[in-house]
């Protein structure tokens, strides 16, 4: 993506990105949407849908061509996650975590040996990735983590629980952050390792087709060549990765909001009260106008942050701004969607109740709304 595009924000997207959007939209309609409601109700992981996404090339958009991906970049990933999330936010976040929080740090911080070992399998969707930073006492305060990494010869022994791990039930490769004697360090841990197990499975309000679990590490032996980045410098890996992850969650939030808006516009045009469609009433019109405007604003913020990351320019501020605005916007839009639907919106007969539930998490994971305020304030004040 050119520097001119990131700076001007005209966003006449290149043809390859327009084609990707069309492909993602068709995939969402044909593969993801038909199973979304059932998977949500049954709390069923989108295993089939993820494999199909891999076959479509969606799991390799951040992986260079040399390792089996398309190397299309972060703006491509944003477009992809946005379109998929319109159909199902659970599949959207599964792809976002896989791409933004796993393939991206391996590409950006991994050794050549690590890239050759993992990127081809991640690019095709043969392997699914997960990201393990949070703990019971280290949520927003990532530096407070207590999971331990102790050296043992050329290897490391990892011990401790990790919480809120998206896709933890099905992941093959997990980026784990643990405290070594030199400081927090990132490790590439295969889920088949002895001592690696899944603990508590969270029962969530929304994104119920995405698994969120506790990961237990009990004397897990990790070879020294699976340290991601530099020993003791894991937080720099974590924060760089989260910049990309926040852009991905902003895209998920936009997708949810677009789905809620589309459903509201359709319902308002069909639902009649006092002898005419409710879309003829100014109160409804103004709701739709604000919803549409907020979605457009969130898209521009998010696309700009993604373009800056593709150009390897500073983007921590822009990533947090995009995540803050898009996530709060998605919750406003989903709330208005339920209101426009009235009593019908509070039933499972219409999908807006699912959008309402799914939107809420976007203000919590990949950094809460409060954390985004802190990050933005520090960036603009130079602290």
Structure tokens at 265: 């516009």
pLDDT, tens digit (0-9, with 9 covering 90-100), for 326-370: 999 999 999 999 999 999 999 999 999 999 999 999 999 999 999
Stated as kind and residue range, the H or E segment containing 358 is helix 352-360
Q: Are residues 239 and 103 in the same domain?
A: no
How far apart are the C-alpha atoms of 74 and 305, rounded to whole Å?
A: 9
Q: Are residues 243 and 366 in the same domain?
A: yes
Query: Whole-prediction pTM value?
Result: 0.95
Q: Are residues 194 and 58 in the same domain?
A: no
Structure tokens at 205: 């309000």
Which of the following is catalytic: 82, 214, 336, 366? 366
Percent of the chain surpassing pLDDT 90: 93
- Give Cβ neighbours of residue 32 (< 8 Å, ≥ 6 apart): 46, 49, 84, 87, 88, 91
Q: Are residues 244 and 224 in the same domain?
A: no
Give the pairing of strands 173-180 and 227-228.
unpaired
Q: Are residues 336 and 241 in the same domain?
A: yes
Q: Are residues 189 and 241 in the same domain?
A: no
How far apart are the C-alpha atoms of 145 and 130, rounded to whole Å?
A: 18
Q: How many domains does the chain have?
A: 3
pLDDT of residue 185: 98
Active site residue 272: no
Q: Are residues 376 and 268 in the same domain?
A: yes
Q: Which residue, 78, 110, 128, sits at the end of a domain? A: 128
Range of the domain at 377: 235-381
Q: Are residues 213 and 329 in the same domain?
A: no
pLDDT of residue 11: 60
140 band by pLDDT with thresholds 50, 70 and 90: confident
């Amino acid at each position: 993506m050119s520097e001119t595009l990131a700076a001007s924000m005209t966003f006449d997207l290149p043809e390859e990105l327009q084609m990707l959007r069309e492909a993602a939209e068709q995939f969402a309609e044909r593969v993801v949407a038909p199973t979304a409601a059932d998977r949500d109700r049954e709390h069923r992981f989108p295993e089939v849908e993820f494999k199909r996404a891999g076959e479509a090339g969606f799991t390799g958009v951040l992986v260079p061509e040399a390792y089996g991906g398309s190397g299309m970049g972060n703006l491509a990933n944003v477009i992809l996650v946005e379109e998929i999330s319109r159909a199902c936010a659970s599949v959207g976040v599964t792809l976002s975590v896989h791409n933004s929080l796993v393939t991206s740090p391996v590409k950006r911080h991994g050794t050549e040996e690590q890239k050759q070992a993992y990127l081809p399998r991640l690019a095709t969707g043969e392997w699914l990735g997960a990201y393990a930073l949070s703990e019971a006492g280290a949520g927003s305060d990532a530096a407070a983590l207590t999971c331990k990494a102790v050296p043992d010869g050329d290897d490391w022994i990892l011990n401790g629980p990790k919480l809120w791990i998206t896709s933890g039930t099905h992941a093959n490769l997990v980026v784990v952050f643990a405290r070594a004697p030199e400081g927090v360090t990132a490790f590439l841990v295969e889920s088949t390792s002895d001592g690696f197990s899944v603990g508590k499975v969270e029962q969530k309000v929304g994104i119920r087709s995405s698994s969120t679990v506790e990961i237990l590490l009990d004397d897990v032996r990790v070879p020294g060549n699976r340290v991601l980045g530099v020993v003791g410098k894991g937080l720099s890996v974590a924060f760089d990765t989260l910049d990309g992850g926040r852009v991905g969650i902003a895209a998920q939030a936009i997708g949810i909001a677009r789905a809620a808006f589309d459903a509201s516009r359709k319902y308002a045009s069909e639902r009649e009260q006092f002898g005419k469609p409710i879309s003829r009433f100014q109160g409804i019109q103004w709701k739709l106008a604000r919803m549409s405007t907020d979605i457009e604003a969130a898209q521009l913020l998010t696309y700009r942050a993604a373009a800056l990351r593709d150009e390897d320019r500073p983007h921590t501020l822009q990533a947090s701004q995009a995540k803050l605005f898009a996530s709060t916007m998605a919750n406003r839009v989903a709330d208005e969607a339920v209101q426009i639907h009235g009593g019908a919106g509070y039933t499972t007969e219409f999908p807006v109740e699912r959008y309402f539930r799914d939107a809420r998490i976007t203000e919590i994971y990949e950094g809460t709304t409060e954390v985004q305020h802190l990050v933005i304030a520090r960036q603009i004040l130079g602290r």
